[in-house]
Amino acid sequence: MIEFIKEKNLDSLKEYIERKEKEFEQQEKNLNTTIEFRYAIKKFRIFPLIKKEKFLTERQKRRLKKRSLRYMDEFI
């Protein structure tokens, strides 16, 4: 950002600021999605099953995957 000010290139500075704002908004959306998915995991008690996944049968793993995806879709 300092380079832009030194060059007094205001158009480049505006573009840089706009690009950074878009990146920030995208990061904020990603963070919100992560928080909502964590909430969904807690609410629907998927997490304990995910931790025990290596002990589940193939059928149980498929059901867990479908269930977690369904709940994730509701929150995104």
Note the pLDDT tens digit of each residue in 30-72. Answer: 666 655 666 665 555 555 555 555 566 677 767 777 776 666 5
Please give the residue range of the domain that contains residue 63.
Answer: 2-75
Residue 55 token pair: 């002990």
Into how many domains does the chain fold?
1
pLDDT at 41: 58
When pLDDT is averaged across residues 19-31 and rounded to a whole number, the result is: 76
φ/ψ (deg, to 5) at 8: 55, 40
Q: What is the DSSP letter of 18?
A: H
Predicted TM-score (pTM) of the model is 0.34
pLDDT at 65: 72
pLDDT at 76: 47
Query: Could you tell me which of 53, 72, 52, 69 has the C-alpha nearest to residue 61?
Result: 53
The more confident residue out of 74 and 60 is 60
Query: Could you tell me which of 60, 38, 39 has the C-alpha nearest to residue 49?
Result: 60
Q: Give residues with Cβ within 8 angstroms of 12, minimum separation 6.
A: 4
